[in-house]
Structure 1
Amino acid sequence: MSAHLDIRDLHVTFHQGTQRVQAVRGVSFTVAKGASYGIVGESGSGKSTVLRAICGLAPLTGGQVFLDGKEVSEPRDAGFYRNVQMVFQDPYASLHPRHTIDRVLSEPLAIHGFSDRDRRTETALRDVGLGPRFRFAYPHQLSGGQRQRVAVARALILEPTVLLLDEPTSALDASIQAEVLNLLDRLRAERGLTYVLVSHDLAVVAHMCEDLMVMQHGRAVEEMTRADLQAGRAKEDYTRRLLAASEGYTPMETPA
């Protein structure tokens, strides 16, 4: 199966005064259409920076990004954002506190010239399990799980084909995490979406992803399948240590 998203030799370097920080060093991976791919590693491993570089929020200092076989331009154009959207870690920080949910959802529609915004807004809220009563609420009036559902609705309202998920449940209570993960699973199945999920939580990755990459110090250490992860089969010492550090985690029930 041809790659839907193809990342080749990605490099990201940040400059802080006289210092150069190589956040991502030569990372490559491919994701087939409709698949879910995980990126795991400790804090500071560069995993979130990979997502930000793909969507144009971090400076790409080397490498190429291909979507459906076509190289993505720098800077990203409107067509890219119609196809690729990102869901961030903190649902409160990613929503403007003084904007109603209606404005949060209608702004991308206006930017991209969509018509029938009322219908699309109501449909987006319904698709993520929120009713019309949430439309004119403010973020502070919603729970963390409800805010993250709004963030997912905002990402989906342009009908993209790829979602980049940056620790989408780590800011939520454990009781709410499974609800949001199940929502994401359902939306992927219904819409044939392609996911790239960043997480430090191996249980989340085992639940959501068929394949994954382990990162350390900006580099890809190894790639594994879900079966490898669940069986603890690792080739590299760092991956074995990461798995050992997560001993005792309870794998969520994986989709059939």
Structure 2
Amino acid sequence: MALIDIRDLHVSFGEVQAVRGVSAAVAEGESYGIVGESGSGKSTVLRALCGLAPITAGAVTVVNEPLGRRRSAAFHRRVQMVFQDPYASLHPRHTIDRVLSEPLAIHGFADRESRILQALDEVGLGAGFRFRYPHQLSGGQRQRVAIARALILEPRVLLLDEPTSALDASIQAEVLNLLDRLRSERGLTYILVSHDLAVVAHMCERLLVMQHGRAVEELTRDSLRARSAAEAYTRALLSASEGYTPAGATP
């Protein structure tokens, strides 16, 4: 049975249909990608999963819990989200210590100090960052804090909404490698939304292509790398994502 099961998901905001009949099944331990142009509805799928957007119709089950209008406390421990902009997702007047201690206090965790130190160590920051403020960190460091905050509750699922798109290219690979390592070590399940097909090819075993709120087709990583797609829209998306090869470089 799939750890995340999405069947005929619809999300509407008034007259606007943001997601139209999307279905997907994600196995435990899998990293699953959702790609598409801006406005395709890919981020709305994640927001519907975590409760930030309404599920208008369809059925969604996460870790054997059918999702309704409200999410249980247990759901929020099992499922966490990492947002696109690490600066916007962190309170500017809260130290990193407070950012990490708040979810522990809300969910009644003991040994908070050791958990905070462990979380900082796991994302490659260390205790020296504990009492800094977000503005004292680089973009990559802030995103590492956001990942630490998501992991501190020991979830089973991470929802990743363009987690590296706000970062410099030199930092993106570091964060992606960190996420890869954490998934392997913890047996996590990821749903990764990205417009960058290279990121998805690196991170995900399978991916769903979306356009105008609808699912176009599902591809494996091998199909993506081989530029093998059945639908014209997917082929156009693959073609548009191809970068240029600098002079002297091997294509």
Q: Distance in 1 between matches of 2:57 and 2:151?
A: 29
2:169 aligned with 1:174: yes
1:79 maps to what in 2? 74
Deviation at 1:59, TM superposition (A): 1.1
Deviation at 1:176, TM superposition (A): 0.0
Unaligned runs of at least 5 residues, structure 2: 246-251
Q: Distance in 1 between matches of 2:137 and 2:35?
A: 29
2:147 aligned with 1:152: yes
Deviation at 1:65, TM superposition (A): 1.4
Which deviates further from its counterpart, 4-13 or 186-195?
Answer: 4-13
Q: Distance in 2 between matches of 1:130 and 1:246?
A: 33
1:12 maps to what in 2? 11
Q: Distance in 2 between matches of 1:111 and 1:190?
A: 26
2:185 aligned with 1:190: yes
Instruction: Give the aligned length.
Output: 245
2:248 maps to what in 1? none
Q: 1:121 aligns with which of 116, 122, 126?
A: 116
Deviation at 1:64, TM superposition (A): 1.5
Q: 1:106 aligns with which of 94, 101, 109?
A: 101
Q: CA RMSD in A?
A: 1.0
Deviation at 1:71, TM superposition (A): 1.2
Mark the CA change 1:249 to 1:124 in structure 2 (over 3 Å): closer, same or farther: farther
Matched to 2:85, the amino acid is: D
Q: Distance in 2 between matches of 1:94 and 1:28?
A: 28
Q: Where does 1:215-230 land on structure 2 (aligned, <5 Å)? A: 215-230=210-225
Matched to 1:199, the amino acid is: S
Percent identity over the alignment is: 78
Unaligned runs of at least 5 residues, structure 1: 251-256
Q: Distance in 1 between matches of 2:40 and 2:161?
A: 13
Q: 2:42 aligns with which of 47, 54, 66?
A: 47
Deviation at 1:249, TM superposition (A): 6.9
Flag as ranges the 4+ runs of structure 1 deviating above 4 A.
none
2:203 maps to what in 1? 208
Does the CA contact (< 8 Å) of 1:46 and 1:216 recur in 2?
yes
Q: 1:94 aligns with which of 89, 92, 95?
A: 89
Q: 2:62 aligns with which of 59, 67, 88?
A: 67
Q: Distance in 1 between matches of 2:143 and 2:244?
A: 24
Q: 2:27 aligns with which of 20, 27, 32?
A: 32
Does the CA contact (< 8 Å) of 1:4 and 1:31 recur in 2?
yes
Q: Distance in 2 between matches of 1:129 and 1:216?
A: 37
Q: TM-score if structure 2 supplies the norm length?
A: 0.96
Matched to 2:83, the amino acid is: F
Matched to 1:23, the amino acid is: A
Q: Distance in 2 between matches of 1:240 and 1:67?
A: 31
Q: TM-score if structure 1 supplies the norm length?
A: 0.94
Query: Residues 140-198 of structure 1, C-alpha deviation per residue, up to 9 Å, x if partnerless?
Result: 00000000000000000000000000000000000000000000000000000000000
What's the secondary structure of 1:3's corresponding residue? coil
Mark the CA change 1:212 to 1:249 in structure 2 (over 3 Å): closer, same or farther: farther
Query: Residues 113-153 of structure 1, C-alpha deviation per residue, up to 9 Å, x if partnerless?
Result: 00111010010000000110100000000000000000000
What's the secondary structure of 2:3's corresponding residue? strand
Deviation at 1:248, TM superposition (A): 2.3
Q: Distance in 2 between matches of 1:228 and 1:41?
A: 16
Does the CA contact (< 8 Å) of 2:54 and 2:69 recur in 1?
no
Does the CA contact (< 8 Å) of 1:89 and 1:167 recur in 2?
yes
What's the secondary structure of 2:198's corresponding residue? helix
